[in-house]
Every structure is written in structure tokens, then in C-alpha cells.
Structure 1
Amino acid sequence: MTTPNFQNAVVTGACGGLGQALARALVASGARVALVGLQRPALDALAALAPERCAVYQPDVSDAAAVQAMAADWTKRFGVPDLVIANAGVAGGFDTAQASDLAVMRRMLEINLLGVATTFQPFLDAMRERGERGQRGALVGVASVAGWRGMPGNGAYCASKAGLIAYLQSLRAELRRTALTVHTVSPGYLRTALTAGNRFAMPGLLEPDEAARRLLASVAKGTEHIVLPRRIGWLSRALSLLPAPLHDRILLGQPRKPRAGEAGSTDIPGLKR
């Protein structure tokens, strides 16, 4: 798989799942790639594919100073990126009645929402200046169809992704007259660590490599709203047409996503409860 349109890319959440598939595809295409994540062995394995074109970074994406330092080092060594993919994210069930889950919501918002703005910020001016010289650039935020409507037991994740969708809409409007494009990616269910513990049906489950191929092709074409796979978007929209009580009744009948600490839950880095 090749992605000839991109020569210099930054990918957060590159340790596994979609982020790793995106990084692998970009490295294979010949791009210079900043590999950003928290699991050093996984990042080092990716960098070994093309050590002369890759660098590994391990900032907390919600830490503005750490991400700014990463951006400064990457730009000094490899130049201004033409593609920044803010993919880092966490997921988990949420129960408002549990005081300990308030920390889960805070941390999820820090990573899934603030982390995207923190990732874009240090590159934005340089990418805009690059655009004034006729060189296009793309900012990609990985949201979710879960951000289209709240789901029982998943309030923190849905809120973080809904906020991200609104943020990307705002940023897109601000950059509309520039050479920078802003892309909102709404995956449904991908076969990753974030979905491994799900105890409910996952229609349209997509492999990360195929999702990465479709995502990069859509960004290259200039598609602003990308749903992976498309049929999960159709299903979500169809459900949203139902009366709210019926919609909620259907979802209430599904098993809940595991909360932090429960069997099948995924790790939330930096969570303090």
C-alpha cells in the first residue's frame, strides 16, 4: 500500500491499532514519520523499518510543553509536516454515580479532546506558512461515531468524541481560506485493544490495516468527513431517526463497556483515582 501524497507525517497513538497501521503505511510509502506514543518497544519496532526517516517520541499528548518540545525537535530534524494525525485516544465505560469515575472522565477529555488541540498547536503556524508557498497540508483528528449521539454507560467517551467533532468543525472553518485541510475521522468498530473487551455486537468490524488504507486515501482526496466503514455510519444515522425513547431502549438492552478496573477494560495512561 502506498500513500504518495504525504512526505512528512506525525502520528500520535502509533503504538498499536489504527495508529500503528497508519504509521506502518506511511513508512512503507517513503514518508518521514514522527512516531508518537507511550510504548517504547512498539515504537522502536516501527522506527526500525526505516530508521533514517523515523523518530520516536513519548510525550503525554495532553502535556502541551512536552508536545511542543517534540514538535520542535521533529521540525528541526525533518522539516515541517504536511500531515498531522491526532489519533491517540482512550476508551472505557462510565457511571456518573461512581465518584471514582469522575477522574476517568477528566482523563478521557484530556487525552481524547485536549490532546488533539495540543498535537496540532505547535505545527499550525509553520504548516500555514508552508501553505502560503503553495504546499498543502492536512490535520486529521480521529473521533468516533460514538460522538454522534450519547450511549448508555459510555458518557465520558461519547462526550470526548462529540467535543472533538465540534472542535474540528471550528478549526476547519478557521482554516477554510488556507491551504490546510481539516479531516474528521469517525471510525465505528476496529479490531484493536480498545474494542477487545467489548461485550456487545460490533457490526462492520474493520481490520486496522484496511481502516488505515481507507483513511489515508480519503485524506489524500480531500474528504473532510471520513466514516470507517461507511455502513456503520448509515446504521448510526438510521438509529438516530428513531424516537429517542425507542433508541435508548434498544441501547439499554446491550451489554455495557467495561469501566476502568473491570475485567476487559483497557488501560487509561495517567489515570489517578
Structure 2
Amino acid sequence: MKVFITGASSGIGEALATEYAKRFQNKDTTIGLVARRSEHLQKLQSKLQETYKIKCAIYPLDVRNHQALATTAADFIQQYGTPDIVIACAGVSRGTLTEHVEDIAAFQAIMDINVMGLVHTFQPFIAAMRQAGQGQLVGVASVAGIRGLPGAGAYSASKAAAISYLESLRVEMAQHNIAVTTIAPGYIRTPMTDVNQYKMPFLMDPNVFAHKFASAVENKRRFCVIPWQMGWVARLMRLIPPFLWDFAMKKAPHKKRLDWDWL
């Protein structure tokens, strides 16, 4: 089993790396891990190799750099073969307000990481998967992409774009026997949500989320909301008329605009 994961140094990505290492330990497994923070990747690599006896390749890079990802994909394929699963998990969130000119850079970064990061991650692997006649591409979206949330224009827009992009990709890849799965998390306990100062319904621990995520991928689900309770919330969000949504969201709490320093 060969799995390639971006955004692997913390949060959901780290939990997924651990879950896959645990699932396929002692079974000639190789996991490729991508993230910006080299020191975190090195610690995770040592932990996974020592605990689960798997091969673990690390690649410190930014998913905004498509050339770096192309070089990394080529290296991984050459050394270990075509991955069975490629998971684009790298993502960021920050409160944004269009009225502030200084937030333009945040809008750009969020779109580049959360949307173009998916494209940069998948594109270099597709030719090899087509040649192999199999493979699975998995993108992490969010329930926040279902409707626009106040104070999160960039994040909601990026995840809505991710959902539509992954749906297009799924249809395109079907003829090549390459599955595409969209996972839309609700609230997962990670550094990204730890800064939120409002109630987060159905908050889930990352290790529990990772187990459910891997099961959905194994079953080749097309679209899956985790936890399932947020799936019903997402369905309700789609049905609410715009005037009621506007009224309900008018005084909703916002994520802080300066939660993250990653631009």
C-alpha cells in the first residue's frame, strides 16, 4: 500500500498519516508526507517508522509551489511506485473581511492553498495512475463550503470551489478507473479550530475523524460529511431560503481575522 498525504505535519493530516500507518503496518507500506514544517515532518517520520514498521518519505514544501510538488511526485513514483491513494489535506483558515484592504493577501493565500493546492497535488500523479489503470484521489473540503459564512468569505469560497472542482475531477477520472472522493469535515479538534471562541457542535477528535475518513475512502465514497450529524446540518443548510439564512447569520460569531500568521 502506498499513500501520499499533504498537510501532514499537524491536525487532520497528521492524524491521517498515523491512521494509515496503523492500518497497513507490517504490510510493505510506504507513506509520503508533505508539509511546510520540516521539523514536524521529521518527528512524525521517526514515530511512524519506529512504531508501525513502515517506510515513510518526507517532503518539506508549500503546496502553492506546483513545480516543487511535481518534482516530489516524480521522486515518490520513481522510488516507491505509483501511489494507491493521494490525499490533498493541506488547508488553512483565517477570518477575513472584504472591507479591509490588508485582507486581500489572506484571500489570495487561502484560495491558493485550499483550491490550487488540490490541483498541484493531484496533477503530477494522474498520468501514472492512468497508466496503472487504478488509483484514488481524495480532497478535503468542508461543511463551510455549503453556504457562505460571515467573516469567513475566503474560507467558505475556497471550500465551495474545492467541492465543485472535486466533483468535476470525479467525472473526468471515472473513465480511467480512478476514484475521486470528497471529504467534508465538520468541526475537528485541531490547531485550526482551537482558536475559535464560539460553540462548535459535534466537535470530533482527529484520531476518530481519521478512522472514519479512511473507512469512507476504502469504500470509495463519492462525497462524505464527517461526523454524520454534520451531514444532516449540511442538508438543512442547503434547504434554508436566502432570506432566512441572511437573518440567521447576521449576528453569527466570526473567526478572528488575525488567527494565523502563515502568509
TM-score, with structure 1 as normaliser: 0.90
Over the matched positions of the two proteins, sequence identity in percent amounts to 41
Unmatched runs of 5 consecutive residues or more in structure 2: none
Specify the alignment match of 1:94 in structure 2.
Answer: 96
Specify the alignment match of 2:39 in structure 1.
Answer: 41
Q: CA deviation at 1:41?
A: 2.2
Rounded to whole Å, the distance in 2 between the matches of 1:98 and 1:192 is: 27
Q: CA deviation at 1:199?
A: 1.7
Query: What letter is aligned with 2:122?
Result: F
Task: Report the aligned-residue RMSD.
Answer: 1.3
Match of 1:233 among 221, 231, 234: 231
Specify the alignment match of 2:208 in structure 1.
Answer: 210
Query: What letter is aligned with 1:79?
Result: G
Rounded to whole Å, the distance in 2 between the matches of 1:250 and 1:150 is: 12
Match of 1:68 among 63, 67, 70: 70
Corresponding pairs, count: 255
Specify the alignment match of 1:25 in structure 2.
Answer: 19
Q: CA deviation at 1:243?
A: 2.7
Rounded to whole Å, the distance in 2 between the matches of 1:240 and 1:124 is: 32
Query: What letter is aligned with 2:67?
Result: A
SS in 1 for 2:83: coil
Rounded to whole Å, the distance in 2 between the matches of 1:168 and 1:219 is: 14
SS in 1 for 2:164: helix
Rounded to whole Å, the distance in 2 between the matches of 1:218 and 1:149 is: 23
1:164-175 matches, within 5 Å, as 164-175=162-173
Rounded to whole Å, the distance in 1 between the matches of 2:114 and 2:261 is: 14
Specify the alignment match of 1:79 in structure 2.
Answer: 81
Query: What letter is aligned with 2:86?
Result: V
Q: CA deviation at 1:62?
A: 1.3
SS in 2 for 1:183: strand
Unmatched runs of 5 consecutive residues or more in structure 1: 1-6
Which deviations, in whole Å up to 9, do the C-alpha atoms of 1:17-57 show, x marking residues without a partner?
Answer: 11001001112223210011012222112211217611110
* Larger relative helix fraction: 2
Could you tell me whether the CA contact under 8 Å between 2:141 and 2:159 is conserved in 1? Answer: yes
Specify the alignment match of 1:116 in structure 2.
Answer: 118
Rounded to whole Å, the distance in 2 between the matches of 1:240 and 1:54 is: 41
Rounded to whole Å, the distance in 2 between the matches of 1:27 and 1:267 is: 30
Specify the alignment match of 1:195 in structure 2.
Answer: 193
1:244 aligns with 2:242: yes
Could you tell me whether the CA contact under 8 Å between 2:150 and 2:252 is conserved in 1? Answer: no
Query: What letter is aligned with 1:50?
Result: Q
Which deviations, in whole Å up to 9, do the C-alpha atoms of 1:41-79 show, x marking residues without a partner?
Answer: 221122112176111101110111110111111111111
Could you tell me whether the CA contact under 8 Å between 1:10 and 1:84 is conserved in 2? Answer: yes
Rounded to whole Å, the distance in 2 between the matches of 1:242 and 1:121 is: 36
Rounded to whole Å, the distance in 2 between the matches of 1:24 and 1:176 is: 29
Which deviations, in whole Å up to 9, do the C-alpha atoms of 1:179-206 show, x marking residues without a partner?
Answer: 2100011001000011111122110101
SS in 1 for 2:196: coil
Query: What letter is aligned with 2:176?
Result: T
Identify the range of structure 1 (12-21 vs 229-238) with the bigger mean alpha-carbon deviation: 229-238
Rounded to whole Å, the distance in 2 between the matches of 1:16 and 1:68 is: 23
Rounded to whole Å, the distance in 1 between the matches of 2:114 and 2:58 is: 21
Rounded to whole Å, the distance in 1 between the matches of 2:158 and 2:237 is: 21
Match of 2:3 among 6, 9, 15: 9
Q: CA deviation at 1:266?
A: 2.6
Match of 1:178 among 173, 176, 179: 176
